[in-house]
Chain A
Amino acid sequence: MTTALASLAVAQDRQGGPSPLALKAGAGIVLFALWEITVRALAPEYVARPSGIAKVFFSVLTDAGFLEVAAATLRAVVQGLAISVVAGTAVGLMMGRVSVVEHGLRYYVNSLFATPMVAILPLVTLWFGYSADTRLAVVVFASFFSLAINAADGARSVPPEFLEVARSFRARPLSTIFDVLLPSSLPYLLAGLRLAAGRALVGAVVAEFFVSIPGLGYYILYNSRAFKHNEAFVAVIVLVAAGVGFEASIKWLMRRYMPWSRRG
């Protein structure tokens, strides 16, 4: 009853004021205006500003060279994530269900998860050289451990009754894994994937900074050195769009197909 009253009150409040959409749009205009004014007043000519970015936005986005580097970065992120999803899920499910594996690997997985991925860049570069393989390796390193940890959490949280039923029906081990374990820990896997995707994007960009291979990160580095900040910022926008798009699509997937799960 009180909840209903309170939400009614909130609804009435909202009716009195401007709509949320107008508020959001207004805030966007104010933020961009502040950015534009600050840069015009204080910063040198080359610094990125909304009007400057708007001017170059479409020419950069339709430039074949830019599309190529954007595709290179995003492809590496997707490939790396795919490797991590398969390997991380396998390792994580084992850790969650087999206590010997759990106790054997726990320290390694947890401490490498906590390691800032940037720190291992020089080492990975020694191994894979100044090539796209380094980027892929960094993306895998950045994403693998969060997937493994979440898969382990998911496997641990599988209700024991499910496994008992599977045993009563003499389910084969493979079908227990694919029909019981995996679907039941799916929300955890998606939560892990959400975290991993953000880290993978960061991993790809730092790797490109470090080894100077064509990609969005290197595009930013190169253009900002050439004092073309507006062009460089378009690459940042693409990265943000990729990050937000991924985050939003996983949220949507979870709400659409797993409404019972409340994670994330």
Chain B
Amino acid sequence: MPRRNWILYATMFASLALGAAAWELAGHLTSDAFWAPLSTTLKSLGEVVHNGVLLRQAASSFELYLAGLALAVVVGAPFGVLLARITWLRVALEDYIMMLYATPMVALIPFILSMMGFGFAPKVLVVFLFAVFPVLYNTVEGARSVRPELIEVAHSFRSGEWALWRDVMIPYTLPFAMTGIRQAIARGLVGMVAAEFFLSPSGLGQMIMMGSQNFDTASMLAAILIMVLLGVGLMDIGLYLEKRFAAWRGYNP
């Protein structure tokens, strides 16, 4: 078995090394406007790290991202749990929530642009719209899984409304809300870049855009690389959160 592991690690490193070599080689073989070598990309990355541009732009992106995501969670999760408690409201709204969940929110960006202009608020609205429906949709899905017996039992023991929320509604819907938050973390990032591209240029989106407009492929690739790392990091955080609360699902079918 240890020998097998060793082979797998070797494969992994070989594939990463091969990828890096291919990146470098592709940069030398094609025109500069097409693809830049890894070495040039890393040099350009070092430059933006050194002169503080990356930090400034990343901070601007993060401000937007966190504002939109936080708003989505603060609005989506409690409203989802509320729908878990009030059955008739859930029945009335769940199809519309499903529809909005399936709506490609990018399609609304031109409307937001022409109504709200270029400020910070419309961009937060875009991130919020991308992120809120996964939270809401999954929380409502979780709400449907709260077994009516549990509420019956709580009522039989004369639980107050607060106790019912604390002991039944929230613990039962939270794992599903976390699945929603994981999706929101990913979708919100797409929303962030879309807002930075199509509303007013700012943050990491602006860095990618500038690189492409100046035909400075190396700095564009550097910014995209940051985006990839950011995406991976955020996805890991989302998966961790989801796994952390998944145990609460218990013996759910």
Contacts and interface: CB of A to CB of B under 8 A. Distances in A.
B91 A103 contact: no
Contact of A243 (B34, B88, B104, B110): B104
A184 B71 CA distance: 41
Interface string A90-111: 0000000001100111111011
Nearest to B94: A24
B193 interface: yes
B171 interface: no
Interface residues of B, number: 63
A198 to B, nearest CB: 7
A41 interface: no
B19 A108 contact: yes
Interface stretch (A26-34, A59-67, A170-178, A253-261): A26-34
Given A17-B88, A26-B92, A224-B110, A114 B11 contact: no
A10 B148 CA distance: 8
Contacts of B98: 244
A114 B182 CA distance: 12
A9 B19 CA distance: 61
A contact face: mostly helix, strand, loop, or mixed: helix
A247 interface: yes
B114 A209 contact: no
B93 A198 contact: no
B190 A118 contact: yes
Interface residues of A, number: 70
A114 B231 contact: yes
Interface in B144-186: 147-149, 152, 186
A119 B154 CA distance: 49
Contacts of A110: 232, 235
B91 A23 contact: yes
Interface in A232-247: 232-233, 235-236, 239-240, 243-244, 247
Given A118-B194, A206-B106, A9 B186 contact: no
Contacts of B193: 116, 118-119
Contact of A126 (B9, B95, B212): B212
A171 B15 CA distance: 32
B46 to A, nearest CB: 20
A136 to B, nearest CB: 17
Contacts of A262: 253
A15 interface: no
Interface string B230-243: 01101100000000
Given A225-B110, A235-B107, A122 B212 contact: yes
A6 B111 contact: no
Interface stretch (B52-60, B72-80, B117-125, B220-228): B220-228
Given A31-B96, A104-B12, A243-B102, A229 B114 contact: yes
Going nearest first, the 5 A-B pairs with the smallest beta carbon separation are A122-B212, A114-B231, A27-B92, A224-B110, A104-B15
Interface of A: 2-3, 6-7, 9-10, 13, 17-18, 20, 23-24, 26-28, 31, 43-44, 47-48, 99-100, 103-108, 110-123, 125-127, 198, 201-202, 205-206, 209-210, 216-217, 220-221, 224-225, 227, 229, 232-233, 235-236, 239-240, 243-244, 247, 262
Given A18-B88, A216-B107, 15 more contacts: A6-B152, A26-B92, A48-B111, A103-B8, A113-B235, A116-B186, A116-B231, A119-B193, A119-B208, A126-B217, A206-B197, A235-B107, A240-B99, A243-B103, A244-B99
Interface of B: 7-9, 11-12, 14-16, 19, 33-34, 87-88, 91-93, 95-96, 98-99, 102-111, 113-115, 147-149, 152, 186, 189-190, 192-194, 197-198, 204-205, 208-209, 211-212, 217, 220-221, 224, 227-229, 231-232, 234-235, 253
